[in-house]
Amino acid sequence: EVVLTQSPATLSLSPGERATLSCRASQSVRNYLAWYQQKPGQAPRLLIYDASNRATGIPARFSGSGSGTDFTLTISSLEPEDFAVYYCQQRSSWPVTFGGGTKVEIK
């Protein structure tokens, strides 16, 4: 099973700042990695797939990078609606796994 480790657990930033979230895999997942955003009381929303492709309707301030075992989600300039929990997910092999999440909170 591929273990995904996300860091930091919590990121405290102000609107307008840049957010950098990390996801590390216990073994290579090639580029089969996605990022999801979840707000309280809502279902997750797909942001990035195949490590670097933005899903339909996702603003350009969200970008993903990486391959193999190290991945990054960057939010270039935080908007008020971006404060949420972010999860990475690997689709390289079954069982599918999620990281533990990074909470981006308002500083």
Partner 1 sequence: EVQLLESGGGLVQPGGSLRLSCAASGFTFSSYAMSWVRQAPGKGLEWVSDISRSGSNTYYADSVKGRFTISRDNSKNTLYLQMNSLRAEDTALYYCAKDRKRDGYNDEWGQGTLVTVSS
- Which residues form the interface with partner 1 (CB under 8 A)? 1, 32, 34, 36, 38, 43-46, 49-50, 55-56, 87, 89, 91, 94-101
For partner 1, which is the closer residue by CB, 14 or 56? 56
CB 88 within 8 A of CB 96: no
CB 73 within 8 A of CB 88: yes
Q: Report, in Å, the least distance between residue 34 CB and partner 1.
A: 5
Identify the DSSP state of 82: G
Q: How far apart are CA 35 and CA 63, in angstroms?
A: 10
For partner 1, which is the closer residue by CB, 27 or 77? 27
Q: Report, in Å, the least distance between residue 56 CB and partner 1.
A: 7
For partner 1, which is the closer residue by CB, 13 or 55? 55
Q: How far apart are CA 21 and CA 32, in angstroms?
A: 17
